[in-house]
């Protein structure tokens, strides 16, 4: 069935370091792909999305490219800040049928000054 596999955490980086959080998926056709972020004490917020192959989603310096050939949607940021400390969730929505999201387990990122 449809699923998302996400890099296990936690991840600890120094400020201004490069971030990659890996995400791969299993689904038929062309699902829509999302990254959500959960800051401490808050709900899930949409960070970025891509709805077709080779699309690049970007927001707040984060980027992820929809790679059909490797079924991946890795999250990257060139220079992280302390304020980026949060839990990051990769998710997919099927191309057809139900509209619910399938989530990965989440990756906790801590950025230290």
- One character per residue 60-89, x = contact with other proteins (rule: CB under 8 A): -----------------------------x
Q: Which of 7, 11, 13, 44 binds other proteins (CB under 8 A)?
A: 44
Q: Which of 27, 77, 104, 109 binds other proteins (CB under 8 A)?
A: 104
Residues numbered 20 to 39 that lie near other proteins (CB under 8 A) are 32, 34, 36
Q: Which residues of the chain form beta strands (DSSP E)?
A: 3-6, 11-14, 19-21, 23-26, 32-38, 44-50, 56-59, 62-65, 75-77, 86-93, 101-103, 107-112
Q: Which of 27, 84, 93, 109 binds other proteins (CB under 8 A)?
A: 93
Distance CA 15, CA 85 (A): 10
- Identify whether the C-beta of residue 28 lies closer than 8 Å to the C-beta of residue 97: no
Binding residues for other proteins, rule: CB under 8 A, are 4, 32, 34, 36, 41-46, 49, 51, 89, 91, 93, 95, 98-106
């Amino acid at each position: 069935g449809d699923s998302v596999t996400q890099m296990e955490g936690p991840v600890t980086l120094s400020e201004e370091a490069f971030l990659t959080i890996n995400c791969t998926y299993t689904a038929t056709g062309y699902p829509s792909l999302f990254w959500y972020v959960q800051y401490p004490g808050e709900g899930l917020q949409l960070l970025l999305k891509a709805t077709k192959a080779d699309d690049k989603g970007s927001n707040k310096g984060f980027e992820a490219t929809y790679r059909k050939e490797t079924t991946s949607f890795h999250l990257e940021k060139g220079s992280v800040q302390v304020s980026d400390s949060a839990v990051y969730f990769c998710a997919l929505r099927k191309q057809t049928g139900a509209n619910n999201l399938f989530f990965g387990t989440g990756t906790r990122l801590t950025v230290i000054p």
